[in-house]
Amino acid sequence: TAGTAHVGTTVGTADAAATDAAPLLSVRHLRKSYGSHEVLKDISFDVMPGEVVVLVGPSGSGKSTLIRCLNGLEDIQDGEISFNGRPVSRNSEKAWRKLRTRIGMVFQSYDLFPNLSVAKNIELGPTAVQKRAKAEVDEQMDRLLADVQLSQYKDSYPRELSGGQKQRIAIVRALAMNPELMLFDEVTASLDPEMVREVLELMLRLAKRRMTMIVVTHEMEFARRVADTVMFLEDGVILERQPGGDFFSSPQTDRAKRFLESMS
């Protein structure tokens, strides 16, 4: 159950109902293979509205594959993924295309369109996909850019930005779609150390505002600060699922203990 979830007071209808809140995301018995190689083996978990789930595990354990499955970017062999209590038709590109407008995703590589200005990168989804009025989108964009202190780069092109600035724009671009869920896959992994902090701080602010997020990261100090829940993935299996503080202070499996030691 979701007994470990930290449900924010800004989401849901009433505080009293918060502990009974329904999951935003439910995954049941998910299996994913590449050919005969089973990469995700019977994965089940819930994410509550406002919950921050940090997904950790060794390289090759299946973290990126899981994130991609949650966004319908990979077909799956078995199991069920539900949003707001509604199952998504398995491997239905149409169903996922619709849902994807409500799920923001940011990857390790900067996936900004290189031939579009920062403003055009941000406006494109909300205007072309969500069909929202440009004036309203621009107003939101201005607020988001001010919030990350990048307003002066509105008319710049991605190549003119640092890696850290590009990743913050990528996050802003995802936020401009008003997502219900944000997926982050090692968004600081290719950044120079001095740029990591500015990106992590933005993610910490989102977490404080109770944005529902699933975060894959190797930044353990950040993970400790941000995680309501930690899921430790090993060889396609969720070996541990614990409140963040408990995972870092008392991992339950030897495997997780060794993983944490290797990260410190």
Please report, as ranges, the residues that interact with Mg ion according to CB under 5 A.
63-64
| Residue type at 116 in one-letter notation | L
Nearest distance from C-beta of residue 247 to ligand ADP, angstroms: 17
Stretch that binds ligand ADP, among 45-53, 55-63, 134-142, 247-255 (CB under 6 A): 55-63
* Cα dihedral 38/39/40/41 (nearest 10): 40
Distance CA(21)–CA(167), nearest Å, equals 32
Distance between CA atoms of 170 and 111, rounded to whole angstroms? 7
CB under 6 A: which stretch of 56-64, 90-98, 176-184, 220-228 binds ligand ADP? 56-64
Q: Does 217 bind ligand ADP (CB under 6 A)?
A: no
Length of the chain: 264
Shortest distance, CB of residue 122 to ligand ADP, whole angstroms? 27
At what angle are helices 163-175 and 193-208 packed, to 10 degrees? 20
Q: Does 54 bind ligand ADP (CB under 6 A)?
A: no
Q: Parallel, antiparallel, or unpaired: how do β-strands 78-83 and 86-87 relate?
A: antiparallel
Segment contacting ligand ADP by CB under 6 A, of 60-68, 122-130, 163-171, 253-261? 60-68
The two tokens of residue 11 are 């989401």
Which lies closer to ligand ADP via its Cβ, residue 33 or residue 101? 33
Using CB under 6 A, which of 61, 140, 165, 217 touches ligand ADP?
Answer: 61
Amino acid identity, position 248: F
Is 36 one of the binding residues for ligand ADP (CB under 6 A)? no
Q: Are 199 and 164 in contact (CB under 8 A)?
A: yes
Strands (E), 169-263: 181-185, 213-216, 229-234, 237-243
Binding-site partner at residue 165 among ligand ADP, Mg ion, none, CB < 5 to 8 Å by type: none
**Span of 58-66, 105-113, 149-157, 176-184 interacting with ligand ADP by CB under 6 A:** 58-66
Please give the DSSP secondary-structure letter assigned to residue 227.
-
Say whether residue 73 binds ligand ADP (CB under 6 A): no
Query: In this complex, which beta carbon is closest to ligand ADP, that of residue 50 or of residue 57?
Result: 57
Residues lying near ligand ADP in the complex (CB under 6 A) are found at 34, 39, 57, 59-65
